[in-house]
Structure 1
Amino acid sequence: MSHDNAIVFVVDDDISIRESLELLIRDAGWQPEIFESAQEFLSRPRVFVPSCLILDVRLPGLNGLELQKRVAVDRPDMPIIFITGHGDVPMSVQAMKAGAVEFLTKPFSDTTLLSAIKEAIDRSDAELGLEAEMQSLRDRYVLLSSREREVMALVVRGLLNKQVAFELGISEITVKAHRGQVMRKMNATSLADLVNIAARLNAAR
Structure 2
Amino acid sequence: MNLKIQEVVFVSPYRAFRVNKSRHIVHIVDDDESVRASIKFLVESVDLTGIEYDSADTFLRDYRDAGPGCIILDLRMPGMSGLEALDLMKQQLILEPIIIMTGHGDVPVTVRAFKHGVFDFLEKPCNDNLLIETINRAISADILERADREKSQSIRVALNSLTQREQEVLNLLVSGQSNKQIAEHFFLSPKTIERHRSSIMRKLEATSFAQLVRLSATRVD
Q: How high is the TM-score relative to the length of structure 2?
A: 0.86
Q: Does 1:132 align with 2:150?
A: yes
User: Does the residue aligned with 1:8 lie in a helix, a strand or coil?
Assistant: strand
Letter in 2 for 1:133: K
Partner of 2:107: 89
Q: CA contact under 8 A between 1:46 and 1:75: conserved in structure 2?
A: no
RMSD of aligned alpha carbons: 1.7
Q: CA contact under 8 A between 1:134 and 1:201: conserved in structure 2?
A: no
Q: In percent, how many aligned pairs have the same letter? A: 39
Using the TM superposition, give the Cα deviation of residue 183 of structure 1 relative to its aligned residue in structure 2, in angstroms.
0.3
Show structure 1 runs of 4+ deviating over 4 A.
none
Determine which of 122, 145, 151 is the counterpart of 1:104. Answer: 122
Q: How high is the TM-score relative to the length of structure 1?
A: 0.92
Using the TM superposition, give the Cα deviation of residue 73 of structure 1 relative to its aligned residue in structure 2, in angstroms.
4.5
User: Does the residue aligned with 1:155 lie in a helix, a strand or coil?
Assistant: helix
CA deviation profile, 1:167-204 (whole Å, cap 9, x unmatched): 2232221111111000000011111110011112222x
Query: Which consecutive residues of structure 1, in runs of 5 or more, have no partner in the other structure?
Result: none
Partner of 1:41: 59
Aligned length: 203
User: Does the residue aligned with 2:62 lie in a helix, a strand or coil?
Assistant: coil
Letter in 2 for 1:34: E
Using the TM superposition, give the Cα deviation of residue 14 of structure 1 relative to its aligned residue in structure 2, in angstroms.
0.9
Q: CA contact under 8 A between 1:77 and 1:127: conserved in structure 2?
A: no
Q: Which moved more, 1:147-156 or 1:65-74?
A: 65-74
Query: Which consecutive residues of structure 2, in runs of 5 or more, have no partner in the other structure?
Result: 1-18
Provide the rounded CA distance (Å) in 2 between the counterparts of 1:40 and 1:157. 50
Partner of 2:191: 173
Provide the rounded CA distance (Å) in 1 between the counterparts of 2:68 and 2:196. 39
Rg larger in 1 or in 2? Answer: 2
